[in-house]
Structure 1
Amino acid sequence: MTIMASPILFEGRLFATVSEVAEVLGYDERTVRRGIKDGQIPATQVGVTHRVPTAWIRAQALVDGAA
């Protein structure tokens, strides 16, 4: 996994949109949605959209940076 943008972008926010997660992780939105559906990416459904906790994105950045 390659972190494309700094998770600092989400500072002060609790959740990010699917499109924001896709941009940061360097995936397309379909891949992120599939990860959410498969339970690989934690998300909360808000109406018909999903929101991913920014804490999870930051944790992925730390894991990726430590590797």
Structure 2
Amino acid sequence: GWKHLATVDVPAALPAAVDATPRSVETGDGWIVAGDHLGVPSLQTALATARAAAACAKRRVTQTASAA
């Protein structure tokens, strides 16, 4: 197994952001996007927007299937 060597806290690991709320994953012209460019540049934002984009795509597929 793995042996824990150390834990390092980095309080200023992310750049300061005026608005930490990610923008919508829907562009308004039909595209669904994800990535840290939608909010604070971080892995957390990239993963959160990826999850939101997947949920949006699933919702669209479900709505399309139920409308058919």
Name the TM-score, length of structure 1 as normaliser: 0.28
Structure having the higher Rg: 2
Larger RCO, structures 1/2 (Cα 8 Å, 6+ apart): 1
